[in-house]
Amino acid sequence: MKTAHADQIEEWVTFIKKNPTTWRVQHTRFLQSQLEMAKDTLNRIAKSPGGKVKIAAVRKITNKKLLDMICR
């Protein structure tokens, strides 16, 4: 029995094979949007009360300058 995830992988492979010159653009846009959403989420958490402290604890960051770079 196949899983939904396996079906999605097969669909993606089929798409790549049918679109060998254009799939990278779509994939790059997807990855960039994922990174942008993650950055926005970190910034939103950082602006909440105690947010930077929470981020530092979860990511085990002890360098304040690094934390400030991550949370802009």
Asked if residue 67 lies in contact with residue 55, where contact means CB atoms within 8 angstroms, the answer is yes
Q: What is the CA radius of gyration of the chain?
A: 18
- In the block, tokens 């939904």 appear at 4
Asked if residue 58 lies in contact with residue 71, where contact means CB atoms within 8 angstroms, the answer is no
Confidence band for 16, pLDDT divided at 50, 70 and 90: very high
Query: Mind listing the pLDDT tens digit for each residue in 21-62?
Result: 999 999 999 999 999 999 999 999 999 999 989 998 988 988
At residue 14, φ and ψ (nearest 5 deg) are: -60, -45
What is the identity of the amino acid at 57? Answer: A
Query: What does the pLDDT read at residue 63?
Result: 87
Supply the DSSP symbol for 41.
H
